[in-house]
């Protein structure tokens, strides 16, 4: 059986187990249990309902109906458990801790971890299936100290009943002994570096096909599903090495890195002022399950070793993994489930480098978070400040955009809106003496705006008694920090969705934000070219995969004009007619650089 078939069987099993739990708690497929019936439920069931209600109410508000809110909650719970167990299988295979899931005859058809746990908690032998559900909770809690996905406080950290959980574990264990799997993955399926990414793509196959068959327009909540493509390792490697790697060689042209990797047109003389490696930042604004970031981790690790051994950099090898994740790597995606996998993948890589890695702060975040209405935080911005009408309107507009991040992800333009208004005032100040005072006021406003914005989000998180909403607003803080930072490298395989397939909300957003002064609204991949350009600093590099349509079609004329006027083509790669993987469309890689005395931009 193929890996995709195993994934589908496991997904269906987990979904059915949570669906059964929903029904038992009084959450039917079309409506909730009436209040008078809830009053008659056992106290234990009522307590469990409370946690579900908090999450369900949020998803109902987001999706607009009970049925769709229930469906989203069911989907989130299903995928979270899928991710948690799949990642443990990978960590087991890497011998990062005693086996948690794999059962062996010599341990009484239990895992070694379960056997060891029973030796401490011997009374659990009398519980259902020897307390396997409690053991899994224990194992998750042990990981929760270093990985948010396994924390008790994680929003979707729930388990199905004991029998269902045991069946799910058995289905995971069946994957590595499948004859077809063992032939395809000679070194073991769970030892594969990108197995979590391939499982993520397989996980959504059914829904992706259903959306395609429906012929529906692609609205914001379907973008990640419609455009989901797992980028092959060799493509990722090429992009990272020829963007980040070439940038590094421009700082250190004599580095042996050029001998170990295929970097086109490697410089022989220094072309860039060196900066400390821990200050070099890379972002994938549509990172999915993080395959660009995972390879970038490996590549950065090699660069740190090069710095230590050949350039006398003051880094300790034991600190490198943590430095990379907390300083170098950044990612955003619409799909919270994909971000789970990205964080898991980075954690596993760090754990392999240093088993006692400890707590890690990730700069990889989902934009699928919740923020309150602006009226609830208005006083934070206006208290003690004299704001003019334009500034008040701008604050509300930015807050509204931040609220809509769950729809549009990294395409939300927050920092740029402030800068656009500031530039407009600066232009007026050249011709109008009275505008000079207005300019000083706007500059002061711009300097404090993002500090106040972060404070508003943090204050809401502190005052909220709802654990689910608190964790969501913490994601908003990270998201805000990522969007207001400039990066050295932006790399992605962005969504390819034509504007004719946009739903009304997505079409309006793209037209409002990416149509002037250059029109990047024809296709989402074009929109991401502009977004990546905006996210990078004046000496930045972009490394993107995209179709060939921008070269020929009239509606992409602004994209071509932008590239010609703002950048210089450094490297161009065409896959050929069949593209990255048959039978997909043809894809292109571009590496563009702009050389200008005042503003140098590198675009890959």
Q: How far apart are CA 445 and CA 453, in angstroms?
A: 12
Q: What is the mean pLDDT of each run of 10 residues along the chain (604 residues)?
A: 94 97 92 84 84 86 89 93 96 92 95 97 96 97 87 87 98 94 90 86 75 59 58 89 96 96 93 96 95 96 98 96 98 91 92 87 90 80 72 81 88 79 64 58 69 72 61 80 93 88 88 93 93 91 86 90 84 64 48 47 44
Residue 397 lies in a domain: yes
Say if residue 452 is in the same domain as residue 490. no
Say if residue 397 is in the same domain as residue 524. no
Which residues, listed in sequence order, are joined to residue 542 by a DSSP beta bridge? Answer: 490
Classified as helix, coil or strand, 274 is coil
Say if residue 135 is in the same domain as residue 158. yes
Residue 422 lies in a domain: yes
Say if residue 263 is in the same domain as residue 243. yes
The burial of 55, by beta-carbon neighbours within 10 Å (0-12 exposed, 13-18 middle, 19 or more buried), is given as buried
Q: What is the pLDDT of residue 482?
A: 94
User: Which of 316, 289, 291 is closest to 304 using CA atoms?
Assistant: 316
Q: What is the domain-level CATH number for residue 321?
A: 3.40.50.150
Where among 137, 162, 192 does a domain terminate?
192
Q: Tokens 């996998």 — which residue? A: 341
CA separation, residue 556 to residues 495, 534, 547, 549 (Å): 16, 19, 12, 8
> 135 Cβ partners below 8 Å, 6+ apart?
113, 114, 117, 118, 124
Q: What is the pLDDT of residue 489?
A: 95
Residue 221 lies in a domain: no
Say if residue 101 is in the same domain as residue 27. yes
Residue 584 lies in a domain: yes
> 468 Cβ partners below 8 Å, 6+ apart?
54, 55, 58, 155
Rounded to the nearest 10 degrees, how much is the dihedral formed by the CA atoms of 218, 221, 222, 228? 130
Say if residue 412 is in the same domain as residue 264. no
> 455 Cβ partners below 8 Å, 6+ apart?
380
Residue 113 lies in a domain: yes
Q: What is the pLDDT of residue 313?
A: 96
* Residues 599 and 572 sit within 8 Å (Cβ to Cβ): no
Q: How far apart are CA 331 and CA 333, in angstroms?
A: 7
Residue 479 lies in a domain: no
**What stretches of 133-196 adopt beta strand conformation (E)?**
none
- The 10 Å CB-count burial string (b at 16+, else e) for 111-126 is bbbbbebbeeeeebee
Say if residue 63 is in the same domain as residue 150. yes
Q: What is the pLDDT of residue 89?
A: 96
Where among 131, 159, 192 does a domain terminate?
192
Q: What is the pLDDT of residue 598?
A: 42
Give the residue numbers spanning the domain of 383: 374-466
Say if residue 33 is in the same domain as residue 144. yes
Say if residue 346 is in the same domain as residue 492. yes
Where among 168, 192, 216 does a domain terminate?
192
Residue 160 lies in a domain: yes
Q: Which tokens go with 60? A: 């109902």
Say if residue 400 is in the same domain as residue 360. no
Residue 477 lies in a domain: no
Alpha-carbon torsion (391, 392, 395, 397), positive or negative: negative
Q: How far apart are the first and last CA of the chain?
A: 39
Say if residue 112 is in the same domain as residue 13. yes
Say if residue 119 is in the same domain as residue 256. no
* Residues 203 and 11 sit within 8 Å (Cβ to Cβ): yes
Q: Which tokens go with 83? A: 């991710």
**Total number of domains constituting the chain:** 3
Q: Which tokens go with 559? A: 């994209």
Q: What is the pLDDT of residue 80?
A: 94
């Amino acid at each position: 059986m193929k890996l995709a078939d195993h994934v589908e069987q496991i997904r269906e099993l987990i979904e059915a187990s949570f669906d059964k739990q929903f029904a038992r708690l009084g959450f039917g497929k079309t409506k909730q249990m009436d209040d008078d019936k809830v009053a008659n439920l056992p106290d234990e069931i009522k307590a469990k309902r409370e946690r579900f209600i908090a999450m369900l109410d949020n998803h109902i508000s987001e999706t607009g109906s009970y049925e769709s809110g229930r469906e989203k909650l069911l989907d989130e719970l299903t995928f979270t458990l899928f991710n948690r167990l799949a990642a443990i299988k990978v960590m087991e295979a890497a011998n990062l801790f005693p086996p948690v899931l794999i059962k062996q005859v010599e341990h009484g058809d239990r895992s070694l971890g379960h056997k060891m746990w029973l030796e401490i908690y011997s009374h659990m032998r009398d519980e259902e299936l020897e307390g396997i559900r409690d053991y899994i909770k224990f194992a998750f809690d042990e990981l929760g100290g270093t990985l948010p996905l396994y924390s008790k406080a994680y929003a979707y950290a729930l388990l199905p009943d004991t029998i269902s959980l045991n069946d799910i574990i058995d289905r995971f264990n069946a994957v590595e002994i499948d004859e077809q799997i063992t032939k395809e993955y000679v070194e073991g399926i769970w030892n594969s570096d990108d197995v979590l990414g391939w499982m993520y793509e397989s996980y959504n196959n059914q829904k992706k096909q259903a959306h395609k068959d429906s012929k529906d327009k692609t609205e914001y909540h379907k973008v990640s599903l419609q455009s989901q493509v797992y980028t092959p390792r060799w493509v990722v490697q090429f992009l990272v090495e020829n963007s980040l790697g070439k940038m590094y060689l421009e700082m250190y042209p004599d580095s042996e890195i050029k001998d170990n990797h295929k970097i086109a047109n490697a410089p022989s003389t220094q072309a860039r002022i060196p900066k400390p490696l821990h200050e070099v930042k890379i972002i994938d604004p549509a990172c999915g399950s993080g395959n660009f970031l995972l390879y970038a981790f490996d590549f950065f690790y090699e660069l740190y070793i090069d710095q230590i051994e050949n350039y006398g950099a003051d880094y300790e090898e034991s600190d490198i993994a943590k430095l990379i994740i907390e300083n170098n790597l950044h990612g955003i995606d619409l799909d919270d489930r994909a971000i789970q996998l990205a964080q898991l993948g980075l954690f596993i890589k760090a754990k392999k480098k240093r088993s006692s890695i400890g707590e890690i702060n990730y700069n990889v975040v989902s934009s699928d978070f919740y923020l309150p209405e602006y009226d609830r935080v208005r006083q934070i911005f206006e208290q003690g400040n004299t704001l003019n009408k334009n500034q008040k309107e701008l604050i509300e507009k930015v807050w509204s955009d931040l609220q809509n991040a769950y729809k549009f992800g990294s395409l939300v333009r927050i920092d740029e809106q402030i800068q656009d208004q500031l530039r407009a005032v600066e232009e007026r100040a050249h011709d109008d003496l009275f505008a000079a005072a207005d300019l000083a006021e706007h500059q002061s406003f711009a300097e404090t705006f993002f500090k106040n914005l972060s404070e508003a989000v943090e204050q809401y998180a502190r005052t909220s008694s709802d654990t689910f909403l608190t964790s969501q607003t913490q994601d908003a803080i990270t998201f805000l920090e990522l969007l207001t930072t400039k990066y050295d490298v932006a790399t992605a395989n962005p969504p390819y969705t034509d504007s004719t397939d946009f739903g009304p909300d997505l079409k309006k957003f793209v037209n409002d934000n990416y149509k002037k002064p250059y029109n990047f609204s024809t296709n989402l991949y074009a929109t991401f070219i502009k977004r990546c350009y905006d996210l990078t600093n004046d000496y930045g590099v972009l490394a993107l995969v995209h179709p060939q349509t921008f070269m020929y079609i009239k509606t992409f004329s602004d994209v071509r004009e932008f590239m010609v006027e703002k950048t210089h083509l450094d490297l161009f790669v065409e896959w050929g007619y069949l593209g990255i993987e048959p039978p997909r469309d043809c894809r292109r890689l571009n590496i563009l650089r702009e050389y200008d005395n005042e503003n140098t931009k590198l675009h890959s």
